[in-house]
Amino acid sequence: MNHRQEGQSVPQVNFRTRNIDAWQDISTDEVFADKTVAVFSLPGAFTPTCSSSHVPRYNQLADVFKAHGVDDIVCLSVNDAFVMNEWQSQQQAWNIRFLPDGNGEFTEQMGMLVDKEDLGFGRRSWRYSMLVKNGVIEKLFVENEEPGDPYSVSDADTMLEYLAPEAPKPLDATVFTRKGCAFCSQAKKALDVAGIPYEELVLHEDFTDRSLRAVAGRATFPQVFISGEHIGGAEDLDRWLRGRQAA
């Protein structure tokens, strides 16, 4: 793949976007000039890896990126503005700027436009990410040329490792709760005070008792999981947080 390299400028194009009910052209300079921008480009909106991993993790880590000098995070795809806007809404990814490259102009000039006709996609973007400073590519992560849709170096964690290798990795927290549960409120407050963002899953809305027993081995509330570790209930969480502070 003969693509642009680190040290080169990004292509000069106009992105055709849709703002509420009006078309708006946004130039390359408006996106990149006098800014540090993390860009990740992917094969298509609503596709599995893009929706389950690529977008959510960049959205989750947006504050961490900004703390290390990134002004904007851009998601780029060879899709039209309507599709990109709907995808952003469905993902609730408001920390990311979604740019439609509907005609593939930016992607083609990057040297990343590839044939996906076997999937019925036509021509789409290869998966890659880059850190762009004032319109110049400082760092470029391009997935290996191999069959399928490789996803190993263009992810948010790889970019964060480049930006801040010594920075502690953000924690992933999920709290299984039920409505009216005082201990659940206690656990959520403790996470808030500790500055640990979390996802809340509510009984009978997001899961069933059986699901909770299957993953936690318990059916009491709350049940807290942090970065793959089952912490337990509110008191267990308090002990875990005290231990973390003492470490």
Any idea which residues carry the catalytic annotation? Answer: 50
Contacts 24+ apart (CB under 8 A), 197-201: 197/60, 197/170, 197/173, 198/173, 198/174, 198/224, 199/173, 199/174, 199/175, 200/174, 200/175, 201/174, 201/175, 201/176, 201/177
Distance CA 69, CA 121 (A): 35
The kind and range of the H/E element at 76 are: strand 72-77
Distance CA 148, CA 76 (A): 19
Residue with the two structure tokens 């590839």: 114
Within 105-232, strands assigned E span: 113-115, 123-125, 128-133, 136-142, 173-177, 198-202, 223-226, 229-232
Distance CA 183, CA 127 (A): 43
- Distances from the Cα of 198 to the Cα of 28, 69, 132, 137, 246, angstroms: 35, 24, 30, 33, 22
Residue type, 172: D
